[in-house]
Amino acid sequence: MEAPMVAVREVAQIPKKKSNYFYLVLGGVVFLIILGIAITFYLGILPLPHKPQFILDEATIGGLKFSDPNLLTCNMQVTLSAKNPNINYGIFIEKLEARAFYQNQQITVAAELPENYVSPKTVNVWPPFLYGNDVLIPPHEAANLMVDLNAGNLPLEIKVGGSLKWKVSSFTFGKYRLMVNCLADIPLGSQVNGTTFESGVKYELDQPCKLRFEN
């Protein structure tokens, strides 16, 4: 007599779900380490970047009048250029503001300059208008200003503040406070009436500016 057939139910083996989370994290960490080493090596073989070179090219006096009681009106347009002397580094120049000073006395309101990217070995130019109407000059500076105006000369400082970042390849790094100081020794045109001077006169200056960085 044959033994009865017993049905055997096969239980499907459920494969264990293998988590790749650990390997993904490990791979990401390794990638970041390799990328950091590559960037460090790449920057290490490049020379350090040179500072941009600022030049005050010219100034045009739109209106200049000094009247009692020690009130100065000075409206002018200046042309300021920045040269990037680097071969490998680009320069981002941002948040620029320009002002005119006479003997450390600010005589115009701040003029905002558009931000710019200066490509390697190129020059960018800004032509800001600087306005100051009926600015009160302290007595000591006013006496010196009268002497300068009578001599047909106006020694000013054009000060520009902003921020700077470097760019190499697709990487941007560093952020520095940028301070530019340009001397503008302007020979004045003929006097129209007393201490009012001829307007619309353009003066070629070609004056290199001093540059200072702060972190």
Boundary residue ending a domain (32, 47, 62): 47
> Residues, the chain, total?
215
Whether residue 35 is found in the same domain as residue 64:
no
Of 25-39, 56-70, 158-172, least confident by mean pLDDT is 25-39
pLDDT range class, residue 136, cuts 50, 70, 90: very high
Least confident of 20-24, 35-39, 110-114, 159-163: 35-39
Q: Is residue 160 part of a domain?
A: yes
Claim to verify: residue 42 and residue 57 sit in the same structural domain: no
| Mean pLDDT lowest among 33-47, 65-79, 181-195 | 33-47
Q: Is the pLDDT of residue 163 over 70?
A: yes
Q: 70 with 26, same domain?
A: no
- Asked whether residue 63 falls in the same domain as residue 145, the answer is yes
* Pair (57, 163) in one structural domain: yes
Report the C-alpha gap between 155 and 193 in whole angstroms. Answer: 21
